[in-house]
Structure 1
Amino acid sequence: MKKLSNMIPSALQGFFAKPVPCNSEVEPLEMPLLRRRAPRGALLRIACPDPTTEEMHRDRHQYRAQWLVRQERWEEMAALLHDADENREMTPGGMPVAELMAFGARADVILAAEHALFDGKPASDAPLMAGIEALEHVLADHSKSHVIAAIVAQAHMDIGWAWRGTGWDGDVPARNRTAFEAHFDRAEEILVPFEKDTAGSPLLAATRCALLGGSGADARMVADRYERLIDLNPENPRPMRAMGNHLLPRWHGSYDQLELEARRTAARTEETWGAGGYTWVQFDAISCDARACANLDLPFFIEGLRDILERRPDPHTANLLASYCASAIGQAAPSEDAAGEVRAEIADCARWIVRDHMTELHPLLWAHAARGFDNNLRVRSPSRFAASGREEAMRIITGLFQREIEAGKRVIFTEGRRQIALPG
């Protein structure tokens, strides 16, 4: 049986809510958790933009598509999405613009369905099918558009996951499983006429990869589909991360297959990522599977971390990798086995990532890392979620600079010099 938390394919992953506003300078002395550790007068200051540059870009593309479909301007939206897909447009943090727009175009329908299915069983009078039926009418009116086909197919899969949930197989009621399978069957049916278009469209290729979440595919099929998607846009790391998850034994693969495809991906994407392709494929797999972690080629993985930051030195990526090493990996339950040793080495990488690459703090990434990068978390209070991420980050970063702080120095992160330790 499989537990599906952390495993939703990349094309179906949700988007973060807005963070709570935070000051441009964060002073740990104002935070009770940190006051116990830092001497009086010591300060650690780091810019905390709200929203971040990455969040602004993501919101702009998502809301633009959402606004256009609310105005029934589907042809205009589809043309913009097609251009973004064809040109491989991405945000500064590496998120494909086409995927953001596709989510925005179906967001109203998905959010309504998720609300109706919040407890796993809709009310008898819930208009659960109204939204997806409206999208089906749009598809009928634009039957030759592979872009709209991808949006409607993804909407079906999103609703299927809303029915199923992310629990263990045995916990899913028969009615919910039937609905899940029906939506995935319909999604696959929608994509059949556009199979030849997948060769040139990352959006379509990502949608076909997302179908793997509802199938009994073997490891070879998984690897082949993701290989096509990765080759279409090697600068997008999300398919590499999703492939690594899908190649775990709990899904469709094996540990040997995971290692093989990680190395093959590194070789194919070396020009883009150096050794980073290996790191991206292993990224989520080792965070949720102890044996995969124990089998890791640790020097190759760490080389990949360095290559990723050399090639993408933006604040979003620095926060992503720092929070991953320090929180997603570093806060795992300690163990003295091989996996524990690997985790300890990866967690120690947070020290040089923070010191050499971080210039600002992105609370939502840290909050998400503390929860294993589970994109299906139900965040009831975005402000508290962001605040928890800020607290987690400040606790960890303060610990990394504890020697300087105890010596009475102030640690100030700047754009040009990363961080400076000054006398208090």
Structure 2
Amino acid sequence: MKKLSHMIPSALQGLFAKPAPQAPEFEPLEMPLLRRRAPRDALLRISCPDPTAEEMQRDRHQYRAQWLVRQERWEEMAELLQEADENREMTPGAMPVAELMAFGARADVILAAEHALYDGKPASDAPLMAGIEALEHVLADHAGSDMIAAIVAQAHMDIGWAWRGTGWDSDVPARNHAAFAAHFERAEQILAPFDKDTAASPLLAATHCALLGGTGGDARAVADRYARLIDLNPANPRPMRAMGNHLLPRWHGSYDQLELEARRTAARTQETWGAGGYTWVQFDAISCDAQACANLDVPFFIEGLRDILARRPDPHTANLLAAYCASAIGQAAEIEDAAGAVRAEIADCARWIVRDHMTELHPMLWAHAARGFDNNLRVRSARRFAASGRDEAMRIITGLFQREIEAGKRVIFTEGRRQIAVPG
């Protein structure tokens, strides 16, 4: 077994005065069991599967990889991961299977680190180093495996973000910022031997793009790196959303660059998404930046919404876009400025998305939308989190059918006719 002292930066080694105990094992998280409550109003009925078909598929792939690594079957896991990556396998909701498996493979280590860092300041005996050191041993035993390298590099970045949090740089304690930088430095070292492999592997290309959160880069380099990833699998919207966020001035770009790359992406992915490429790139950027929102080509964005739903008419996508328009964007729609006017126009799209495309309710998507789709959001209770999403969705959907309800009708969502209004 190789010694790890030369692998892990000194900034990480010095975080603790003594070796941390072995990281505790975590059982797979179960999907929340929503309370079987009556709808917000008995006049509105919509199916609320728990878990949804998308959630079940995601869990299956994640837990399969998690189980394999718990049995120390790393070679088998890496082969399955590479197969999923090469075949561009995705769930019906357009989540890459390789990314789900990569998370499952590092989940125990990440969950232990996030638990220890929940309040931002770990106890002196917190098992932070034990988990990542175990993964470093696996990496040393499987030198040359690009899939395992991607997993360990992603684990370092995840732990780095757990140290840093999502606040402004000025609010991050020096010790936490040093740990963040050291984990990203180590991730970059791990990926360096596989730079050329990103030309064929979406997983490796995505991992290289994730490095931008810690290593930075100019707008052109950022756009080029994401463009290569998007071209590897245009059907995956996640890189488009991430690129738009990273091209904001607060990260590595400018508003002009954001608009330019959104249009370029729409042109390159037109066969897959129609105008949807523009919408995906702007999706997260305009929800967190008022100026980006004010600059938006609204008709083009709405055309993209329609094209996305025409090409992805599944319940997951319908819930995602409805929750985004009504909650993530709609919550700030009343501000009387240029951005507020844009948000109000986008929020109004929730009406036709719900009426024309929704057949069932996915509470977790609505809960995440209400909190701005924060990937680093720490949820104490998945059950209460999902319940809050259900309440938010029922409140909004009830409002969209207020005219029918005030007329004394019941609104019932069905698979075939979307929804019907019958006498109360």
Gaps of 5+ in 1: 1-14, 30-41
State the match for 2:34 in structure 1: 21
CA distance in 1, matches of 2:171, 2:29: 27
Question: Quick one: which amino acid aligns to residue 31 of structure 2?
Answer: K
What's the offset of the Cα at 1:168?
1.3
Structure 1 residue matching 2:211: 3-state secondary structure: helix
Contact kept? 1:65, 1:105, Cα under 8 Å:
yes
CA distance in 2, matches of 1:177, 1:406: 55
Q: Which has the higher contact order (CA 8 A, sep 6+)?
A: 1
Distance 1:71 1:281, change over 3 A: same
State the match for 2:156 in structure 1: 156
Moved more, 375-384 or 401-410: 375-384
CA distance in 1, matches of 2:131, 2:298: 47
CA distance in 2, matches of 1:22, 1:290: 37
State the match for 1:416 in structure 2: 416
Distance 1:332 1:284, change over 3 A: same
User: Cα deviations across residues 266-319 of structure 1 (Å, max 9, x unaligned)?
Assistant: 000000000000000000000011110010000000000000000000000000
Structure 2 residue matching 1:112: 3-state secondary structure: helix
CA distance in 1, matches of 2:318, 2:417: 15
CA distance in 2, matches of 1:209, 1:104: 20
Computed over aligned residues only, the root mean square deviation of the Cα atoms, in angstroms, reads 1.3
Structure 2 residue matching 1:129: 3-state secondary structure: helix
CA distance in 2, matches of 1:373, 1:112: 23
What's the offset of the Cα at 1:325?
0.3
Contact kept? 1:327, 1:369, Cα under 8 Å:
yes
What's the offset of the Cα at 1:17?
6.9
Q: Deviating runs (4+, > 2 A) in structure 1?
A: 15-23, 25-29
State the match for 1:182 in structure 2: 182
State the match for 1:33 in structure 2: none
CA distance in 2, matches of 1:22, 1:307: 35
Question: Quick one: which amino acid aligns to residue 64 of structure 1?
Answer: R
State the match for 1:132 in structure 2: 132
What's the offset of the Cα at 1:175?
1.4
State the match for 1:374 in structure 2: 374
In the comparison of the two structures, how many residue pairs are matched? 397
Structure 1 residue matching 2:335: 3-state secondary structure: coil
Question: Quick one: which amino acid aligns to residue 78 of structure 1?
Answer: A
User: Aligned ranges for residues 13-162 of structure 1 at < 5 Å?
Assistant: 18-23=31-36, 26-29=38-41, 43-162=43-162
State the match for 2:23 in structure 1: none
State the match for 2:12 in structure 1: none
Contact kept? 1:16, 1:364, Cα under 8 Å:
no
Moved more, 310-319 or 120-129: 120-129
CA distance in 2, matches of 1:265, 1:289: 20
Identity within the alignment, %: 87
Distance 1:382 1:229, change over 3 A: same
User: Cα deviations across residues 27-72 of structure 1 (Å, max 9, x unaligned)?
Assistant: 223xxxxxxxxxxxx5110000000000000000000000000000
What's the offset of the Cα at 1:216?
2.7
Gaps of 5+ in 2: 1-27
User: Cα deviations across residues 57-111 of structure 1 (Å, max 9, x unaligned)?
Assistant: 0000000000000000000000000000000000110100000000000000111
State the match for 1:246 in structure 2: 246
Question: Quick one: which amino acid aligns to residue 212 of structure 1?
Answer: L
Contact kept? 1:106, 1:151, Cα under 8 Å:
yes
Residue 215 of structure 1 pairs with residue 228 of structure 2 = no
Residue 204 of structure 1 pairs with residue 204 of structure 2 = yes
CA distance in 1, matches of 2:264, 2:403: 42
State the match for 1:4 in structure 2: none
Structure 2 residue matching 1:28: 3-state secondary structure: coil
Distance 1:355 1:16, change over 3 A: farther
State the match for 2:269 in structure 1: 269
State the match for 2:327 in structure 1: 327
Contact kept? 2:333, 2:341, Cα under 8 Å:
no
What's the offset of the Cα at 1:178?
1.2
Contact kept? 2:160, 2:183, Cα under 8 Å:
yes
State the match for 2:280 in structure 1: 280
CA distance in 2, matches of 1:312, 1:164: 36
State the match for 1:37 in structure 2: none
Question: Quick one: which amino acid aligns to residue 205 of structure 1?
Answer: A
Contact kept? 2:64, 2:104, Cα under 8 Å:
yes
CA distance in 1, matches of 2:293, 2:169: 24
What's the offset of the Cα at 1:336?
1.7
Question: Quick one: which amino acid aligns to residue 118 of structure 1?
Answer: Y
